[in-house]
Structure 1
Amino acid sequence: MLDTILSGAIEYAQTMSHWETTAVLLGVAYLVLAMRQSQWCWYAAFGSTAIFSWLFFDVSLVMESALNVYYLAMAVYGWLAWRNGASDKPDLSVQRWTLNQHGLAIGSVVLISLISGWLLTNNTNAALPYLDSFTTWGAVLTTWMVTRKVLENWLYWVVIDAVAIYLYIDRGLYLTAVLMALYVVLAIGGYFLWLKDYRSQQGLPEPA
């Protein structure tokens, strides 16, 4: 199995799309800038997702392609939200969700993923419909969490990106799979950076 993946990755690297390379670089820029809470992250997000929308459609990842169209809209919304903040807070700050909010969010993602996975299985030629649905709906929720600066978005991304690694390897998008692996590492770093900022906002002491 590992030999097959490695040989496929080498072959793919020789014919790698310049568009995918550009999308990956912009994707990395987005995450690094988001970790620093820089509004420039949304510019990188818009460029990256515009390219990925076409790439995923080309390899029959229907839900992933649709997801990136949503990302385009969220890039615009995120830019506005981070610039203007909430109505009662001129500067949008890092916040946390309660356990009930997380339970509702996770349960909703699982339920809608099962429904859309079943619909795709029975009505389309979509590849890996249940995994495709899970990463899609999970990312829909988590992207919105990023626009509202919900701290736990980074933990959600760790799970979603880990699942996406397998999804993209199966579809032959090896560079994108590598991007997802990098995202997992960066998401962990992003969580601790935002946690530090959250503690500062709340006047909480740093852990020993």
Structure 2
Amino acid sequence: MAAWHWLASWEAVAVLLGVAYLLLAARESLWCWYAAFASTAIFLVLFWQVRLYLESALQVYYLAMAVYGWWQWQRPGEARTLAISRFGARAHGLVIGGVLALSALSGALLSRYTDAALPYLDAFTTWGAIVTTWMVARKILENWLYWIVIDSASIVLYLDRGLLLTAALFAAYVVICIAGFLAWRRHYRVAAAVSG
């Protein structure tokens, strides 16, 4: 019982920091990366405890991406900030095809060689999140649409593992991602109108 209380307490802290990350990212605030780093460190341990091994490994990547995103967003440059950009159809095709192929391969390996829970779904959310986190750091507009799909799939994963607060967090993420997409799209259009 003490272990469950510990898990639930840290899950609550990670969830609050996760909400802060996404709200700050939607506002294009550099502080989002600090919240991301702290939340990620906690989730790394939590996911390992509930046998979501790829999700746990993903947190190591998130730690590095929090540092990269912070560096990318604060780099001095001509405009002092990284501009929002878009992917073309070919880039989207490569990303989606790559994520699906890696998910199938990783899911099969996890299924065969580990006791991982929901190995294919774990693989899909992990590989999708890897690419999409990079898209956030590079301020690719469509990252928000990818996150809506990944976060929706993650809700199923976390409910299955009894991580109710984390599932609720990801449900909130879906709503915040819609708002983030609309805000970034508005900024993108304004910038395009000014430069064009």
Same-fold call, TM cutoff 0.5: yes
Question: Which residue does 1:57 correspond to in 2?
Answer: 48
Question: Which residue does 1:19 correspond to in 2?
Answer: 10
Secondary structure class of the residue paired with 2:17 = helix
CA gap of 1:91–1:20, structure 2 versus 1, over 3 A, is same
Question: Which residue does 1:144 correspond to in 2?
Answer: 134
Q: Does the aligned pair in 1 maintain the 2:54–2:126 contact within 8 Å?
A: yes
Aligned partner of 2:42: which letter?
A: I
Q: Find 1:91's aligned residue among 81, 103, 111.
A: 81
What CA distance in whole angstroms lies between the structure 2 residues aligned with 1:52 and 1:202? 38
Q: Does the aligned pair in 1 maintain the 2:141–2:181 contact within 8 Å?
A: yes
Aligned partner of 2:28: which letter?
A: Q
TM-score, structure 2 normalization? 0.94
Deviation track 1:132-170 (CA, whole Å, cap 9, x = no partner) reads 000000000000000000000000000000000010000
Question: Which residue does 2:20 correspond to in 1?
Answer: 29
TM-score, structure 1 normalization? 0.88
Identity %: 58
CA gap of 1:90–1:71, structure 2 versus 1, over 3 A, is same
Deviation track 1:110-147 (CA, whole Å, cap 9, x = no partner) reads 00000000000111100000000000000000000000
Question: Which residue does 2:102 correspond to in 1?
Answer: 112
Aligned partner of 2:16: which letter?
A: L
Question: Which residue does 1:3 correspond to in 2?
Answer: none
**Matched residue pairs, number?**
191
What CA distance in whole angstroms lies between the structure 2 residues aligned with 1:80 and 1:110? 29
Question: Which residue does 2:168 correspond to in 1?
Answer: 178
Q: Find 2:60's aligned residue among 64, 69, 82.
A: 69
CA gap of 1:72–1:16, structure 2 versus 1, over 3 A, is closer
